[in-house]
Structure 1
């Protein structure tokens, strides 16, 4: 099938096959499986906190990048970022005690189901994103309102016992601080500090998906390193640690955790990630029942990733292959945008921070002209141009019960990480064709009711 008629998927948030460190993974697996001192423990049940050599290697890498003290005991290995959110909710929330889940809108939409599965149906609330990442005024007003309503309610019996190693938080705030999915925005330093302060004030746990921190690059110049300060902003967990233990946090769990993952840098199929937080929180997370029974998530894959980090091969692959490739594809997308979409009135943020000099992640967030509903654009793109794009409604906070509807009916998310460079440019041209089609005969396409497939969400991570 020729490029002109072949399907182009600009919604799939996967790493392209040519970004995967296949040869490094193969070599590391061979080294692991050739040494009994490594493969015997790697193929058995592991420590609850996770494979110690990976925790050591991660601590070396992360402490150097973020300029924080090295401490492997702050790290707990997970089975990936999504599974880790579920484990956090199992151990550190109770549906009868935890009052609300707060998600920035637009959001990483597939996280909504994780929160619903944990018993928070009807208590997921969205709050707005602003130019610096999040609208803290709106968030605090929402939390105050919920707290005032709950004070008049008799507390029901808890479903769980927090026990010795856990505590339950009153609120949970979920954010992607760096190169957010879908908007590409990075939360400013002052917003990060203020969010931690707010979390301490209202007994909230901030879960930060820090999965794009190492996937940033300058708009101009080499993408091989992350030397610019705006690409090395402190994580919220480090800000929280730097503030010292809060008086009311008697057991030292803290109020912010970093949810990391190898999915975007070594492959989603690796199913391995990590949490970094306080020692008490990391150990408490390791005492989640499924982890204790399973003996460390991803034990064998963790041994391979430890090899990749210890040899420096993963770091080299990131600096030499992944970041330059993403930088080049993002640049191609933006050039095509300026040439083919901007003249039609489409807008796009070009740097992660306001007036910044860098970008990162996998996605760009387009704002369509006022007369162009994004769902209609997505429908026409699929049925008339064989192009898949993410319409804005997909990234609303599903089940939002905040009393305020965040409407993204003029927004489109495109990914530049998965498709080839030729397909990327061709995809932008097809999107241009769609906008021109609709403008020429808008009612024709509205009346057709083309529809979108029900499983579109599944490919849009």
Structure 2
């Protein structure tokens, strides 16, 4: 029987994936808002916004993405960018325009997965077609995905036509949707290699799939070795959208879409984001029904963020505040894990011990409890009920619509938990790890 929560312990939440409110750039947001309202044409700015977002903001994002990623395929242009009110809304709008409950045969989610995306797929009428794909050692098990895509396609009764027709305003419907967070993944923290990204795009082209890539953590990156700089260890892995347009044989519609958000780098409540894809796909995004009716779905917020982006305030906030803070927290957490948890059989998934020339980033890391005497769920329960520390147990990261997902996870992610360093200060993170160590010892008795 697990003891009740100790009244002497303050709660520590290592589960929630939110940025600390003190890191929100309130002064910069205030300055940007004031600058907006000092404009002589501010009344015009408060009208319905252009469906795809203001041309100035789309151009500013394109320039920022070009600077951030230096894509080998060439500069990002504004015609590749549409404004959303965040990554969740971006995914929902993409599904409204480019999927069809009748024609789209599968949604493929890498497991462990960001489970809160599942209701968005269900809302699009794709319930019953949501499947898991093992993550594997390199971001995704391409062999498994390829076999399953072929199996589904071969067993689909043909001919089959979309109910959403070209005449009805749907110029392109994809047969499959693949959902992935390829860089600093939520929840695993892993990053796909370039070769796996190329392999995924080749599969997508073969099976008429749209790969929706949540690229919300990419710019939050730092060297794992103290004293090293990003200039020394290299830039972020190329995004899927950049690889797609640089590979021979790309189509006018493309097979990838980058889903971005300012939630993690400005504030969740700002509700502004963007999608990037081939210009034909982006143009069609402007015909989503809610956007045609109401204009840009993040118009006012986007005008504020545009000021921050154009002035350099956002880039400065990322480089001078977010990255140093998150890097310090990540270092504190990983050092505490190696000191207090590694002797108990715990490991950070993907940790090979080598730090030179490596890059970390995002919000999350994933622990494996396979080397412990107690099970992952028991450890998570003991940590919460006896030591008042909340972690995200592996069971919540299965694909709930796929009954085989948890079976596949029995040897991998179900034996672990996700931890987030973005919310708590260093001293709290270390305290939380020490409590988890105590919970492991108690749960192993």
> Could you say whether these structures have the same fold, taking a TM-score greater than 0.5 normalized by the shorter chain as the test?
yes
For 1:49, the equivalent position in structure 2 comes to 52
Work out the CA distance in 1 between the residues paired with 2:230 and 2:52. Answer: 29
Question: Under a length normalisation based on structure 1, what TM-score does the superposition of the two structures give?
Answer: 0.89
For 2:195, the equivalent position in structure 1 comes to 190
Pair 1:421–1:102, CA change in 2 (3 A): same
For 2:184, the equivalent position in structure 1 comes to 179
Question: How much has 1:133 moved relative to structure 2?
Answer: 1.0
Map 1:267-278 onto structure 2 (within 5 A). Answer: 267-278=267-278
Is 1:367 aligned to residue 377 of structure 2?
no
Listed as ranges, the gaps of 5+ residues in structure 2 are 1-5
Is 1:208 aligned to residue 213 of structure 2?
yes
Give the number of equivalent residue pairs: 432
Pair 1:372–1:428, CA change in 2 (3 A): same
Work out the CA distance in 1 between the residues paired with 2:388 and 2:400. Answer: 27
1:378 to 354, 377, 380: 380
The alignment's C-alpha RMSD in Å is 2.2
1:130 to 133, 136, 142: 136
For 1:59, the equivalent position in structure 2 comes to 62
Work out the CA distance in 2 between the residues paired with 1:305 and 1:79. Answer: 12
Question: How much has 1:4 moved relative to structure 2?
Answer: 5.0
Moved over 6 A (4+): 352-355
For 2:111, the equivalent position in structure 1 comes to 105
SS of the aligned residue for 2:124 comes to helix
Question: How much has 1:123 moved relative to structure 2?
Answer: 1.1
Map 1:15-30 onto structure 2 (within 5 A). Answer: 15-30=19-34
For 1:454, the equivalent position in structure 2 comes to none
Work out the CA distance in 1 between the residues paired with 2:123 and 2:25. Answer: 33
Work out the CA distance in 2 between the residues paired with 1:294 and 1:56. Answer: 22
For 2:3, the equivalent position in structure 1 comes to none
Asked whether the 8 Å contact 1:131–1:354 carries over to 2, the reply is no
Map 1:278-293 onto structure 2 (within 5 A). Answer: 278-293=278-293
Question: Under a length normalisation based on structure 2, what TM-score does the superposition of the two structures give?
Answer: 0.92
Work out the CA distance in 2 between the residues paired with 1:416 and 1:58. Answer: 27
1:238 to 238, 242, 261: 242
Map 1:31-430 onto structure 2 (within 5 A). Answer: 31-37=35-41, 39-67=42-70, 68-150=74-156, 153-154=157-158, 158-163=162-167, 166-221=171-226, 226-227=230-231, 231-244=235-248, 246=250, 249=251, 252-349=252-349, 357-368=358-369, 369=371, 371-400=373-402, 405-407=408-410, 408-430=413-435
Question: How much has 1:350 moved relative to structure 2?
Answer: 6.0
Listed as ranges, the gaps of 5+ residues in structure 1 are 441-461
SS of the aligned residue for 1:47 comes to coil
Asked whether the 8 Å contact 1:103–1:125 carries over to 2, the reply is yes
Question: How much has 1:438 moved relative to structure 2?
Answer: 0.9
Pair 1:401–1:50, CA change in 2 (3 A): farther
Question: How much has 1:406 moved relative to structure 2?
Answer: 2.5
